[in-house]
Amino acid sequence: MSTHAQSLIAQAEAWIADDPDPVAQDELRGVLDDPAELAARFAGPLEFGTAGLRGPLRAGPNGMNLAVVTGAATGLVRWLAAQSATGPIIIGYDARHGSRAFAERTAEVATGAGFDALLLPRPLPTPVLAFAVRRLGACAGVMVTASHNPPQDNGYKVYLGNGLGGPRGDGAQIVPPADAGISAAIRAVGPLVDVPLGAAGTVLGEDLVDAYVTAASALVSGSPELTIAYTPMHGVGGAVLTAAFEAAGFAAPAVVAAQAAPDPDFPTVAFPNPEEPGATDLLLALAASTGADLAIANDPDADRCAVAVPVDGRWRMLRGDELGVLLADALIRRGAEGLFATTVVSSSLLRALCTARGRAYDETLTGFKWIVRATGGELTFGYEEALGYCVAPDLVRDKDGITAALLAAELALVLKREGRTLVDRLDELAAEFGVHATDQHSVRVDDLSEITAMMAKLRASTPSTLLGEPVTAVEDLLPASDVLILRTASARVVVRPSGTEPKLKAYLEVVEPVGDAPVPAPPNSWVQ
């Protein structure tokens, strides 16, 4: 046996001795004679970044498991104590494998450190957790979820309250330097057997959920005349969204029966993300059979929202950029003032709209942790092209797929009464500002060093033309972010590594005037 293999086995045996979960101990013992598997599990600790933790459910330091969660929770509460944080820690969880156990362990670590721990009453959407952090004056919040990742994953997102996050970060995801401070505290935890565990914490009542539903539904004025089909995609959004729609005056949506109940195995979809091919097939079949005016999908933790509309007997999925601009336009037409924000990889149409309508605009790095901290005014609306929308930042300072769905439904209702659709409004915006066609291209890798090499090569030999036009501007966002932006007179390409997957992503945009010509649907928009 090689020295490296012996070292891995010694690390594994030491981990087993300190692991608080007997099932995980047995799991690791079962791979002691598998050098490749052992190397993967001990390749390094699961990194704690600005979105917290996310990774596969497996024993060992490079996975999501009770030991890793215990260490993460301990580092978090010790960091909070070092900042003299006051107020409770709110803990939420979705219906994924392990989520409830990880949430309950976080509560025990928090109470063991002298904090009040308040758990959401059941598996609930991420926006409810973000809402609770603000409403209950928490010092921090933890949401156990892997959002739209595959079933073998789980994750751990951290939010800060007003005391440490400040006004723009009250109820928002952490950003530097908090992430680095928490990460350092996690690395310094030491043996888990020495971590004091307290009581199970206090389980909050349904009144917290009712308060969210009441506040969300008050944002819009609905009517039963709009027919809606909906799927929570085996996630936890169904009951909350249905309650919010009914409270707002809409009829209860028709729900895809096979995807209505939370199921951590996501059996009817290859990948539980509304953006993935085939993920909304059952939704659109239901929408067609019920004659729906609108089809809505949430991802499993309901912080994202996808919308499809019928056009001449076919269904068209709206891109995130399209729905984002439609929601911004709807708010502006209501008379909403304040700041409108998106990211450097989103369509430039929001900038054009805000310039024409006299609204403040800001463009941030990717991620809602940055969008909600946009500068130049009090945030009114923010969106990212990956189906994330913040339509009520005073309510939820994060992306919220439920309030976004409500606003999209209200807009569809207003347009239906005028004999028009969401696509008609998009065409009107295109006639005014030109078609802002966007798309993505991704390169998936097995070795992350390939991404580093590709970014270095692109920086060393940046193209001088795109689509036959000269590149007029190159913007490199290093060191703040590993992002490269190329612009021509009518096109833009943004290249960056994915923050959650082993991919290099290129975000593409072309702007073309249309005049009186028909506006074509974007590529791959027609799904049924």
Distance between CA atoms of residues 254 and 227, nearest Å: 8
Mean residue pLDDT of the chain comes to: 95
Assigned CATH class of 47-204: alpha beta
pLDDT tens by residue, 228-281: 999 999 999 999 999 999 999 999 999 999 999 999 999 999 999 999 999 999
- Would you kindly state where each structural domain of the chain is located, as residue ranges? 47-204, 206-434, 435-512
pLDDT tens by residue, 501-525: 789 999 999 999 987 767 766 655 6
| CB contact at 8 A, 121 and 105 | no
pLDDT tens by residue, 318-349: 999 999 999 999 999 999 999 999 999 999 99
| CB contact at 8 A, 347 and 324 | yes
Q: Does domain 206-434 have CATH number 3.40.120.10?
A: yes
pLDDT tens by residue, 54-68: 999 999 999 999 999
For the entire predicted model, the pTM comes to 0.95
Same CATH fold assignment for domains 47-204 and 435-512: no
* Percentage of the chain exceeding pLDDT 70: 98
CA atoms within 13 A on the CB side of 512: 13
Whole-number pLDDT of residue 499: 76
pLDDT surpassing 70 at residue 378 = yes
pLDDT tens by residue, 11-35: 999 999 999 999 999 999 999 999 9
Pick from 303-312, 431-440, 507-516: least confident: 507-516
217 catalytic? Reply is no
pLDDT surpassing 60 at residue 528 = no
Active site residue: 99, 147, 346, 347, which one?
147
Fold entry, domain 435-512: TATA-Binding Protein (3.30.310)
Distance between CA atoms of residues 402 and 130, nearest Å: 13
Distance between CA atoms of residues 283 and 266, nearest Å: 14
pLDDT surpassing 50 at residue 526 = no
CA distances from 404 to 219, 326, 330 (A): 10, 11, 12
Strands of 484-487's sheet in order across: 435-444, 503-512, 491-497, 484-487, 473-476
Structure tokens at 247: 């409270």
User: Which residue type, as a one-letter code, is found at position 290?
Assistant: T
Confidence of residue 92 (pLDDT cuts 50, 70, 90): very high
